[in-house]
Structure 1
Amino acid sequence: MSRPSPVPPLGLGTMGLSGDSGRETVTTALELGYRHLDTAQIYENEAVVGDGLRAALDRGAVERDEVLVATKVWVDDLHPDRFRDSVETSREKLGVDTIDLLYLHRPRGPYRPETTLPLFDAVRDDGLVDHVGVSNFTTDQLVEARRHLDAPIVAHQTEYHPLFRRPALLADAREHDYTVVAYSPLAGGRVFDLDPVVAVADERGVSPAAVSIAWLRAKGLAVVPKASSRDHLRANLAAADLTLDEEAVARLDAIETEEELFPE
């Protein structure tokens, strides 16, 4: 029997958010109903995300235990001499006692499964982190990670959209009971120019963005689209509840063009 996922199906992607406007975006998202905040050390905005969360808590818009706060350790800090300090710094910037979900951002640089992954176990055992995830892994790298990680992998974050599909990753997630989290779900805006996406959107009376998010949700992925305006935040939240029939899903599956936005 699969365990319930701790990862809410829709989160706020925060890459590029900064300053007061970024803080207010985070607060607004939480007020609208988002319960999943996704950031990373390399985004250099963990403090902005933390300030936005704190403002929402102060306004009574949300309780801390209702929100999953996720960040990612960048490759420079995977070295054993730097790892724990970087996690402590992230925790302080986010203003949380415990990081709900800590990802390994990319398996490169000083990454060595046998030495790196036990570092994640250690910060989890010590209460700095609640859950462990990985990001931008291949299926082979996931297999290797499971050999060296005691904690269950609860999430794998990867680029996924109608122009970049990795069904083998979804199959691995189903077999090993974790959530695949899609970043860049709108393919950097390219979904607005994809004829099958636009056609389904016109038929349903929704936006191409909503169709792309709904297509990902139909496949069981969680989604972390970026947005800054209240209207876009609200639209993405509604898109997560949009249901596509099998025929619409198949039309997007049949898109032959492939474009990876963030290759290694």
Structure 2
Amino acid sequence: MPELLHKHESLHDQLHTLAGYVRDPQRHAPPPGIEARRLAVYRQLFLGNITALLSGAFPVLSESLGAQRWQALVEAFYAEHRSQTPLFTEVAGEFVGYLEHTPADLPEWAAELAHYEWVETALLLGEDRDADHDPEGDLLDGVPLLSATAWPLAYAWPVADIGPEHLPDAAPEAPTLLLARRGDDQQVHFSRLAPLAHGLLVSLQQWQLTGREHLQALAEISGVAPEIIHPQGLALLQALRDQGVVLGTRPVCANLRRLSPAIRPTH
């Protein structure tokens, strides 16, 4: 038994050493007994898979950074990041998190552009988790229900316009406000939002309130009289329901409740 245990520990150490070298050969010594040519094949195999996966998920970001800068970024992610999921379909989300929290010599718009590109994949692969609701419910006195496949987004940079031919040096004064939605055709569609529409959608996403309470809160935040906000807000709620963005209403909850979506779509 001690001999078997020793062999197991030895194999574990060998694999750990190999993994460290494959991830970052600049900082980790190669495992003994394996020729350099074979080690290069291992690294190219694993790194090549990650590079292909991320290049397919972030085509605009990779083209905008250029081949050399993009490859350096992928190699840094591969070397430094420890994924919290074994699923290849979730690697893009891990990459977005890496860009948001890891200082790097990148343009300021890079993290937001990555998030914008990731949204499409996340919505396509995400599950519908809509609560029970009344499609014909009163949008003012009931609690409007936002579709799980409709995400309001806000970016400091004009992510929808960034590309190899348009690389902004400074963020514009006004944010880019968008609605990303997976339609019945199973495609993700992006549309621009006015500030009132974005504010209402974020409120619907985060708080379980009646439509009247949502509009009252928006009036207070914007400093606009309720009698001005309410007619516009009701018309907007009705239009959103016609578009399938708002599904209807759920029963009124006795207590004010902040919603906690599984994925936080607003950047």
Query: What TM-score, normalized by structure 1, do the two folds share?
Result: 0.29
Higher Rg: 2
